[in-house]
Chains A and B, each alone.
Chain A
Amino acid sequence: MSKVLIVAEHSGNQLNQSTARCLSCAREIDPAGADVVVFGSNCGEVAHQAAALEGVARVLTVEREENQAALAAIIAPQLAVIAADHDYILGPSTTFGKDLMPRTAALLGVGQVSDLMAVTGPRQFQRPVYAGNAIVTVEVPEGLKVVATVRTASFKPAAEGGAASIVPNQVAAELPAHTRFIELRTGGGDARPDLQTARIVLSGGRGVGSGENFKLLFALADRIGAAVGASRAAVDAGFVPNDMQVGQTGKIIAPEVYFAFGISGAIQHLTGIKDAGLIVAVNKDPEASIFQVADIGLVADLFEVIPALDKKLG
């Protein structure tokens, strides 16, 4: 019986890597390992992928028709039942986990540690606040279950090599009929990775000059498998849509490598990227504040640099 329970995130047939990252966090809480619960209508494939991760004690599956789409209102009451015997319930800090875990915590009558980034004691954790401009250490009092979303960028994925048993579960929970899944629209068929999970992100700022010029970034991104983001200035100027905005009021991201092209580096932008593994800045203005946080800086015209990079990295 593991102390820690992890909620698997998956697409129906593919386990999301965030689950393996949660597992690394779980093993810092309890090296003995963790249980993984898979909710779905047909969990077989995903359950096998979870069982193969090193450190998984058991894979619990909960199969029912209503679980096909991961709706928080449907999953949370079942998760609250499954979690009855666990002390720690972890989910990824992705939109899936952010939607589901607080609803579950409230059903269990406890709080939630959001974006858990480090385990500093059995019931003590660190998490970022103010878009990463401060780190708080929090403690969950004895006797209360710990519910947390795990900041996936802070933990490496657990290796494969496990052979956990898969245990089907029946959950007696009353499920609401008030919420219906309609559809999932995934980026109009283009294969460009998502901003929040991409290894590499290329972002453009006001210096890119126009929406048309953003095509340069898209071309380079597609060649190296990167996602494309933008500064608030570029969004406000109408070059690209809001959903590409990186920054405190946009998306807060932590890719392995972040390229900032023609971005001056306003505070609100920097707070959205400060957890990137490596920040590369290209700007004509040597005084741009982006250079103060960049690991590699190049004072140059982005319209010369991007095509050159395209040639050399392609």
Chain B
Amino acid sequence: MGENREWNVKKIMVCLKRVVDYNVRIRLRPDGSGVVTDGVKMSVNPFDEIALEEALRIREGGSPVEILVVSIGPADCQQQLRTGLAMGADRALLIESDIQVEPLIAAKAILKVIEREQPDLVLLGKQAIDDDCNQTGQMLAALWQRPQATFASKLEIVDGRATVTREVDAGLEVINVDLPAVVTTDLRLNEPRYVKLPDIMKAKKKPLQTESLASLGIDLEPRIRVLKYEEPAPRQKGVMVADVDALVAALRDKGIFN
């Protein structure tokens, strides 16, 4: 935590997506057109919350960093941006849209903001817990022609470069990337702080700017059409066994542990 640890990071952009809260059991609309969101608790995508927490910790590490939170979606996303401001972000931008925004469109929209804001680092969750796509950060990095460090569980910034530990299937991979870069965050990176009431009051006075997705001048034609939502096939009713012997017999019966 040296004094000059992040001397070169002046601005961090964090993307926050509004999603159905992870504790809610989702219900499908009867016509299969999507998920019921009316009257359902909505939250900041948990992985994005981790991304914002990391930005706050970089600032708390000693350098004066401006933190901008950005969301894309309906006007209600202002609630999630206010949460981001209450956590400690300096200002917020909502790119307002009532259409379904697929990851490629989100990446193009974020790139437009990047071109204007010139952040040194863009942080976002590895995936959103609604569409589970796990694409936006990678697509953004590709279009921006900058490095990507996905599934980060540790992030260190020294001299204009980031060393990122990534959670991969084989274990932990460490890569080093030049800044600016896109880092997508995994669950282990940190534990986000709780928002306190005075911070919520303070957040009401912080700037929250809105502009329309259409005004960015990007191609909004979907590359993937969503035809219908369905319930997953139900699991077959299970059996209860009386003791360990019966359990082992049942497992052997299923062809496991022969």
Contacts and interface: CB of A to CB of B under 8 A. Distances in A.
A38 to B, nearest CB: 18
Contacts of B22: 248-249, 268
A242 B130 contact: no
A106 B139 contact: yes
A274 B235 contact: yes
Contacts of B172: 184-185
A99 B141 contact: no
A257 to B, nearest CB: 6
B89 interface: no
Nearest to A184: B173
A48 to B, nearest CB: 22
A134 B26 contact: yes
B150 A176 contact: no
Interface in A167-198: 176, 178-187, 194, 196-197
Contacts of B167: 95, 243
A295 B150 contact: no
B142 A178 contact: no
Given A73-B141, A134-B26, A250-B187, A182 B228 contact: no
Contacts of B26: 130, 133-134
A110 B139 CA distance: 10
A291 interface: yes
B173 A111 contact: no
A112 interface: yes
Interface in A73-120: 73, 76, 94-96, 98-107, 110-115
B2 to A, nearest CB: 20
Given A135-B229, A249-B129, A182 B224 contact: no
B146 A141 contact: no
A250 B187 CA distance: 7
B175 A249 contact: no
A22 interface: no
Interface stretch (B71-79, B195-203, B207-215, B250-258): B250-258
Interface stretch (A51-59, A153-161, A203-211, A305-313): A305-313
Contacts of B254: 278
Interface residues of B, number: 81
Given A111-B103, A297-B239, A309-B248, A105 B139 contact: yes
Interface in B149-179: 150-151, 153, 163, 166-178
Contacts of B143: 106
A1 interface: no
16 contacts: A11-B170, A72-B138, A73-B141, A95-B167, A130-B130, A133-B26, A139-B224, A178-B177, A179-B178, A257-B251, A279-B238, A280-B247, A291-B240, A293-B235, A296-B247, A313-B257
Given A103-B138, A111-B224, 20 more contacts: A72-B150, A73-B147, A94-B169, A95-B169, A103-B141, A106-B139, A106-B140, A110-B223, A129-B131, A129-B229, A135-B231, A139-B224, A180-B176, A184-B168, A184-B171, A184-B173, A249-B47, A297-B241, A308-B244, A312-B248
Interface of A: 11, 71-73, 76, 94-96, 98-107, 110-115, 124, 128-141, 144, 176, 178-187, 194, 196-197, 200, 224, 241-243, 245, 248-250, 256-257, 267-268, 274, 278-280, 282, 291, 293-300, 304-305, 308-309, 312-313
